[in-house]
């Protein structure tokens, strides 16, 4: 059993005796109003700030930060060259209690609150290491199984996923269908009690290392709309006809394995169907707000990292005989950046609170994803500019942060789609 924090008491378990996530049902935020918000903090990445967190969360954050400093940062350059992180890292994360945090204990998860889950992806952003696909695995794929899976599926997959021994991926995007999920061609046809799956997927995070893939497929083309004829399947590595294509050579996210997947007459047992037949699109619409909130919080956390990285640089770098930090134009740019980052952080934190209270709606999540990812790209641009020529060098962290930011406005639904969703909510009666 994982070690966990509950009302300030530390119970030691087998997971390296490390501080673990705060239990969602026992979380105390006493004194939360006394915690400084981001604008008042010495650094935007400081531990002990933001009122949505408690002192218990701070203890957990320290352990997560240490994990990324010791187990991820020293090896990330090597993983960038390989195009994937090591499987050993996943198991270390599992032992540390960093996977499946917000999943109920009785389902095989850690049983922590949503804020604890957020701490993991925020600390990953602060480490500037985008390789580990932990957030997709823990906060996007596992919830599908936990919320819609059978008892057999839950028992079979979630404990292994929480332990880091079963790596998951989500396969929706196809060569001809991205944000328009109703345009997919991958299909599954009944053959007795089995299903025969055919099609292909692309841009699949964790695809190369995956042990199980949640695949979106058409199961009824005669439905009144394709949205009523889509189902989800759990496809396991090694199944006949399931082929992993090449690892894709991306502009950024170099250490994150992203693959093409092919399904050629893959025979799936009835037990591979997740939830009910033809209900897949409904499940996806229910889960997308959380996915978009994850993207938003990663985006604003990356902004906070880039700001602090740039602040440190301009204090040391000299031009015309004085530090860049003494130049008014540079000072004003930093003032603009901090203001925009802190305003966005306040909004995203309110969205995290809404999600913890199970009140986050699709339009608000779309606003968070659109705004934070746009800001992330804008901040990256300005921070590279403040670094000058050195900002264009790959060995400088800001260069990696710049290219990693670009995809944030694309996946999880493009920002153009986010605006459509927000607009529909505005004009509806």
> Catalytic residues, which ones?
291
**Residue 267 and residue 410: Cα distance in Å, rounded?**
32
SS3 163: coil
* C-beta separation of 55 from 47 below 8 A: no
Tokens 């990356």 belong to: 302
CA nearest neighbour of 297 among 123, 91, 158? 123
Strand partners of residue 23? 112
Determine the distance from the C-alpha atom of residue 189 to the mean position of all C-alpha atoms in its chain, rounded to a whole number.
32
Q: φ, ψ for residue 177 (rounded to 5)?
A: -150, 115
* C-beta separation of 59 from 148 below 8 A: no
**Residue 199 and residue 215: Cα distance in Å, rounded?**
10
Strand partners of residue 194? 191
CA nearest neighbour of 255 among 107, 59, 384, 124? 124
**Residue 22 and residue 4: Cα distance in Å, rounded?**
6
DSSP string across 222-275: TSSSGGGGEEEEEEETT-TTEEEEEEP--SS-TTS-EEEEEEEEEEE-GGGEES
**Residue 384 and residue 147: Cα distance in Å, rounded?**
42
């Amino acid at each position: 059993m994982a070690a966990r924090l509950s009302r300030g008491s530390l119970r030691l378990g087998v997971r390296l005796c490390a501080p673990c996530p705060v239990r969602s049902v026992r979380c105390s935020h006493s004194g939360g109003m006394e915690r400084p918000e981001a604008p008042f903090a010495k650094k935007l990445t400081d531990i002990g700030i933001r009122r949505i967190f408690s002192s218990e969360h701070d203890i957990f954050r320290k352990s997560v930060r240490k994990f990324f400093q010791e187990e991820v940062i020293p090896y990330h350059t090597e993983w960038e060259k390989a195009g994937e992180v090591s499987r050993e890292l996943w198991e270390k994360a599992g032992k540390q209690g960093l996977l499946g945090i917000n999943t109920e204990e009785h389902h095989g998860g850690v049983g922590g609150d949503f804020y604890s889950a957020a701490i993991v992806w925020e600390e990953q952003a602060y480490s500037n290491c985008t390789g580990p696909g932990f957030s997709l695995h823990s906060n996007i794929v596992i919830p599908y199984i936990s919320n819609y899976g059978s008892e057999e599926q839950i028992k079979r997959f979630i404990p292994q996923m929480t332990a880091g021994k079963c790596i998951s991926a989500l396969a929706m995007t196809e060569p001809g269908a991205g944000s328009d999920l109703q345009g997919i061609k991958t299909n599954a046809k009944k053959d007795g009690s089995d299903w025969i799956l055919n099609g292909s997927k692309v841009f699949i995070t964790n695809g190369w290392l995956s042990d199980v893939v949640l695949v979106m497929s058409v199961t009824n083309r005669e439905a009144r709309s394709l949205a009523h004829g889509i189902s989800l399947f759990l496809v396991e590595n090694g199944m006949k006809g399931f082929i992993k294509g090449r690892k894709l050579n991306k502009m950024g996210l170099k250490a994150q394995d992203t693959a093409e997947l092919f399904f050629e007459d893959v025979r799936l047992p009835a037990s591979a169907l997740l939830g009910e037949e033809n209900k897949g699109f409904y499940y996806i619409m229910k889960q997308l707000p959380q996915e978009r909130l994850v993207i938003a919080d990663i985006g604003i956390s990356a902004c906070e990292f880039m700001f602090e990285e740039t602040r440190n640089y301009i204090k040391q770098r000299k031009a015309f005989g004085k530090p860049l930090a003494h130049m008014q134009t540079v000072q004003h740019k930093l003032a603009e950046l901090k203001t925009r980052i802190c305003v966005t952080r306040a909004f995203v934190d309110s969205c995290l609170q809404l999600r913890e209270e199970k009140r986050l709606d699709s339009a608000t999540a779309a606003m968070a994803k659109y705004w934070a990812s746009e800001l992330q790209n804008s901040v990256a641009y300005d921070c590279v500019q403040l670094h000058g020529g050195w900002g264009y060098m790959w060995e400088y962290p800001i260069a990696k942060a710049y290219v990693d930011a670009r995809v944030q406005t694309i996946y999880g639904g493009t920002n153009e789609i986010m605006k459509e969703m927000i607009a529909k909510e505005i004009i509806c009666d």
